[in-house]
Chain A
Amino acid sequence: MITGKQLVSAAIWLPAAAALLCYLWRSYKGRNLVVWASGVVLAACSIGLYLTGPFNYQPGEIAGLSWNTVISTADFALLALILLIGIKRRHILIIMLALFQAALLIYFDAVLGGGELEPGPAFVIDHLSIIMALVINIVGSLICIYGVKYIGEHEDQHSGQTSATSWLSSHSGSRQPRFMFWLVIFLGAMNGLVFADNLYWMYFFWEVTTFCSFQLIGHDLSEEAIANACRALWINSLGGTAFALALVVLVRYGGGDYLSIQYLLIHGAGPGMTMIMLATALLVLAGMTKSAQLPFQSWLLGAMVAPTPVSALLHSSTMVKAGVYLILRLAPVYIGTYLSDIIAIAGGFTFLVTSILAVSQSNAKRVLAYSTIANLGLIIACAGINTPAAISAAIILIIFHAVSKGLLFLCTGFVEHRIGSRNIEDMEGLADRMPLTTIIFTVGIISMFLPPFGMLVGKWAALEAAAHLPLAALFMVMGSAVTALFWIKWLGRMLEGNPGEVQSGLEPMAINYKASLIGLAAGAVLLGILVIPLIRSLVMPAVSQYYSSPGLNTAAQSIVIGNSGLFAVWPWFVLLLIIMVSARLLYDPKKTKSAPVYLCGENSSSTSYTSTGEQSIQPALSSYYFDGFLGEARWTPTVNSLAVLIIMVLLGVTVL
């Protein structure tokens, strides 16, 4: 029987091996095979882990060296690499932050002897990390399968127009293997981060994900890509520095065993521990930089330059979730304190502001990026409210957001390759050109915030919990109203078709795309239907591990009415099915005449009208972006300064 320990080591080491294989295997078919195989195995691993349930695991020696020393040497090697990149790209900030981190680590190892501390088992796999593992491995592997095909097409399209200075054209051979290497190895790093209980190990995996993100954003090697990669690197290193500082503070003032999160959760809380609370605040700050919360959102928006699988995997489903995972993991530490309220307000504020900013964007990926930051803000707000219901809401939101947002990013990537542009305006009439993709898009967008799907259960629980904090409730209420605006505005632009255009069947889709897109869409719908069993099996155990009550009472009062908000979900999907079927019955194209569009009586054809000087003109449509009121340029400075203020208060309140 495969024991839990083997599953964990497999989860961490297999991606590394697969990545290496991808890097060496020159042919596309080979890489495709490797990715499919590793995807299936990883998914099996995570499900295996779920079946075995929570356990601790302290890895033994390897080749005579204890793991700690391996980790710390790898850490220093990584910092050296980052320093090298800083020097090569002449980016002062990266150099300074790398040096500062190195200094902190040297102090941590040499002076405090942190390196050798064994505060407890290195890996503690509890329900929360199992959920994260499931998300990472299943959604992550689907995205990698998509990525293999995508990067192939991406290269054919870009080999033509990439700017002359790019390394690509000068260097012989394509960069696909290199891309796949970093993409797959990232999964291993994330698994490691999620299992780690020893903060020092988590710090190492934290740095690895930052490095992977730098490599992947800079994939195209155009100036813009490199500039954004550097910006992502220095902001994340800022987070890394905060993390390192927290380590030092923890060991310096709390003693060695505070390095283990379990120990921290049990002993960390309580009034006396101001320094521990400061360390937790620093860790929360690190989490915030990683999930690109308000003052630090510029790197995630810049990262949209990267190929779409990167945005889908790193910048929406998994990597940015690491920051939120950390904040959620530490929630029991700051329960009931002012820090908790400030975090709630910071999260709510980000949720509202980024939703409003998303309205004024016409570049599809930037809208998705803003919406990701908004949803992360909502999750952090739930973590900040810190009641069992809010924590379960946060976990539900994490699961559903990963699936839906990943799906939307992949769809956008696929559409971008077909129509060659990311602008929402060029996606007009997509329903007639690419019907299957539009259906998947509709499922994706509807599952983001509307009733039958899980996200809404999360939002419901968040609102119920936020009722005691009116300011957070206000942010959530106004934010959720604005989310409806920019999602439906976008979906509406896609549905706009000319009358009489008969759909000529579904558009061709490669097997990789089909697997990932339809897989994720089916996943979103399935999770929507099975939301109550999902909550009972996954979320409630995770919450009841650290909190008194399980949070949500899933007993149903009647067929349709669940108890306090949770509703029986299957009637919803039956209703949607009835609607689909009756629409197909009532509307049969032969009987219904396709009417020309109303153009004030001046139709020169069914869609164009005769205007001044007798020329026939097509009406042009565009959605509203309110650039005047909500323009990014106008708001970002004020909003960033407000956010910095909140961060100051966040750090300050722990000390006072």
Chain B
Amino acid sequence: MGMMKKSRIKSPWLLHYDGSSCNGCDIEVLACLTPVYDVERFGIINTGNPKHADILLITGGVNQRAARVVRNLYEQMPHPKVVVAVGACACSGGIFHDCYNMLGGIDKVIPVDVYVPGCAARPEAIIDGVVQALGLLAEKTNKEAAV
């Protein structure tokens, strides 16, 4: 089983969804894919499909309508999966935490594994967060129970 665990770390496929973000953090996530930061070195691909993804990377807080979408995406991802919340809004709702339409951080809707702070979290911080998430991914099994 060692090879399986190792391959899980070496080829994490990532689904990026923008909850209710101001697209500052989204640009930084996309910047990670570009030549200057190039996360494909770690085998990370940005698949647009929850069914292919291992890591759910969410930027921005969650408003009432986005909560439903975030929950759907999380449920559609096959196990083992991890959730990375990128940016102050994703961690705790940030500057918008007491707007009338905001529920707050991502942990209000789905269990979050890694929090990446920063208002417009830097690509390096995001890479750190994803690398940390890989450690958690290896431990999880593909059964429903050990979520």
Contact = CB atoms under 8 A, between A and B. Distances in A.
The reply to whether A and B meet directly (CB within 8 Å) is yes
B17 interface: yes
A596 B68 contact: no
A596 B74 CA distance: 12
Contacts of A610: 68
Interface in A579-631: 593, 595-596, 598, 601-603, 610
Contacts of B70: 601
Contacts of A598: 49-51, 76
Nearest to B74: A601
Contacts of B95: none
Number of contact residues on B: which range applies? 10 to 19
A596 B70 CA distance: 15
Nearest to A604: B68
B72 interface: yes
A607 to B, nearest CB: 13
Most chain A CB neighbours (cut-off 10 Å) among B17, B49, B73, B78: B73
B69 interface: yes
B124 to A, nearest CB: 29
A359 B108 CA distance: 51
A602 B66 CA distance: 9
Contacts of B50: 598, 601
A602 B51 CA distance: 14
Contacts of A595: 51, 76, 78
B63 to A, nearest CB: 14
A602 B49 contact: no
Contacts of B78: 595
Contact of A602 (B17, B69, B75, B144): B69
A610 B66 CA distance: 12
B69 A596 contact: no
B13 to A, nearest CB: 15
Most chain B CB neighbours (cut-off 10 Å) among A595, A596, A601: A601
Interface in B35-83: 49-51, 68-70, 72-73, 75-76, 78
A247 B68 CA distance: 79
A596 B49 CA distance: 13
Contacts of A602: 68-69, 72
Number of contact residues on A: which range applies? under 10
Most chain A CB neighbours (cut-off 10 Å) among B69, B75, B76, B78: B76
Interface in B79-133: none
Contacts of A601: 17, 50, 69-70, 72-73, 76
A602 B76 CA distance: 11
B38 to A, nearest CB: 27
A595 B77 CA distance: 9
Contacts of A596: 72, 75-76
A495 to B, nearest CB: 19
A593 B78 CA distance: 9
Contacts of B72: 596, 601-603
Nearest to A597: B76
Nearest to B52: A598
A610 B50 CA distance: 18
A593 B51 CA distance: 12
A603 B17 CA distance: 15
B41 to A, nearest CB: 28
A598 B48 CA distance: 11
Contacts of B68: 602, 610
Contacts of A603: 72, 76
Nearest to B71: A601
A588 to B, nearest CB: 15
Interface string B7-47: 00000000001000000000000000000000000000000
A603 B73 CA distance: 9
A331 B92 CA distance: 84
Nearest to B49: A598
A614 to B, nearest CB: 9
A649 to B, nearest CB: 56
A601 B75 CA distance: 10
A595 B144 CA distance: 13
Nearest to A614: B65
A598 B69 CA distance: 12
Nearest to A610: B68
A595 B75 CA distance: 9
Nearest to B66: A601
Nearest to B75: A596
Contacts of B144: 593
A602 B50 CA distance: 12
A596 B75 CA distance: 9
A327 B142 CA distance: 65
Nearest to A599: B72
A602 to B, nearest CB: 6
Contacts of B75: 596
Interface in A256-273: none
Nearest to B79: A593
Given A598-B49, A598-B51, 6 more contacts: A595-B51, A596-B72, A601-B50, A601-B69, A602-B72, A603-B72
Interface of B: 17, 49-51, 68-70, 72-73, 75-76, 78, 144
Give 8 nearest A-B pairs by CB, closest first. Answer: A601-B69, A601-B73, A601-B72, A603-B72, A602-B69, A596-B76, A598-B49, A598-B51
16 contacts: A593-B144, A595-B51, A595-B78, A596-B75, A596-B76, A598-B49, A598-B51, A598-B76, A601-B17, A601-B50, A601-B69, A601-B70, A601-B76, A602-B68, A602-B72, A603-B76
